[in-house]
Structure 1
Amino acid sequence: MTVLPGEAAATVDGPPPADPLVLAAAWLPVDGSAPGPTMTLSTIGLDGYPSARTVLLSRFDGQRLHFHTDTRSRKAAELAAVPRASMTIVWPEAARQLVVTGDVAPVTDREARLAYDARTRYLQMLAWVNDADLAGATVELRRERWTAFGEERGDGPLEPPTTWGGYALTPLRMLFWQGATDGPSNRLAYERDADGRWRREAWPG
Structure 2
Amino acid sequence: MSDLSGEVLAEVAAWLPPNDEPDRPQIQVATVDEDGRPDLRTVLLSEWDERGFVFHTDARSRKADQLAARPGVAVLVLWPGFTRQLVVRGRAEPLDADRIAGGYAKRSPYLRQLAWLNDDELAQAGQEQRRARWAAAAGHDFSAPPESWTGYLVRPERLTFWRSDAEGPSHRVEYREEPGGGWSTHHLPG
Shift of 1:78: 0.2
Which among 91, 95, 98 is matched to residue 110 of structure 1? 98
- Deviating beyond 6 angstroms after TM superposition, the runs of 4 or more aligned structure 1 residues are none
Which among 180, 184, 188 is matched to residue 195 of structure 1? 180
Given that 2:19 and 2:46 are in contact with CA atoms closer than 8 Å, whether structure 1 keeps it comes out as no
Matched residue type, 1:184: P
Q: Which residue of structure 1 aligns with residue 122 of structure 2? A: 134
Shift of 1:158: 1.8
Shift of 1:48: 1.1
Q: Which residue of structure 2 aligns with residue 12 of structure 1? A: none
Matched residue type, 2:149: W
Shift of 1:84: 1.4
Which among 37, 46, 56 is matched to residue 34 of structure 2? 46
Are 1:59 and 2:47 matched, yes or no? yes
Shift of 1:19: 3.4
Shift of 1:104: 0.8
Which among 160, 165, 177 is matched to residue 150 of structure 2? 165
Matched residue type, 2:117: V
In the aligned structure 1, how far is the partner of 2:142 from the partner of 2:137? 13
Q: Which residue of structure 2 aligns with residue 34 of structure 1? A: 22
In the aligned structure 1, how far is the partner of 2:127 from the partner of 2:65? 27
Are 1:73 and 2:64 matched, yes or no? no
Shift of 1:107: 1.0
Gaps of 5+ in 2: none
Given that 1:104 and 1:168 are in contact with CA atoms closer than 8 Å, whether structure 2 keeps it comes out as yes
Gaps of 5+ in 1: 1-16
Q: Which residue of structure 1 aligns with residue 13 of structure 2? A: 25
After superposition, what is the alpha-carbon deviation per residue over 1:98-148, rounded to whole angstroms, capped at 9, x for unaligned?
000001101111111111111100000000001111101111111111111
Given that 2:173 and 2:188 are in contact with CA atoms closer than 8 Å, whether structure 1 keeps it comes out as yes
Give TM-score scaled by structure 2 length: 0.92
Mean Cα deviation higher: 59-68 or 25-34: 25-34
Are 1:95 and 2:83 matched, yes or no? yes
Q: Which residue of structure 2 aligns with residue 13 of structure 1? A: none
After superposition, what is the alpha-carbon deviation per residue over 1:172-192, rounded to whole angstroms, capped at 9, x for unaligned?
000000111111110001110
Listed as ranges, the matches of 1:4-15 within 5 Å are none
Given that 1:95 and 1:179 are in contact with CA atoms closer than 8 Å, whether structure 2 keeps it comes out as yes
RMSD over equivalenced CA pairs, Å: 1.6
In the aligned structure 2, how far is the partner of 1:71 from the partner of 1:35? 23
Are 1:186 and 2:171 matched, yes or no? yes
Matched residue type, 1:28: L
In the aligned structure 2, how far is the partner of 1:49 from the partner of 1:191? 24
In the aligned structure 1, how far is the partner of 2:129 from the partner of 2:188? 51
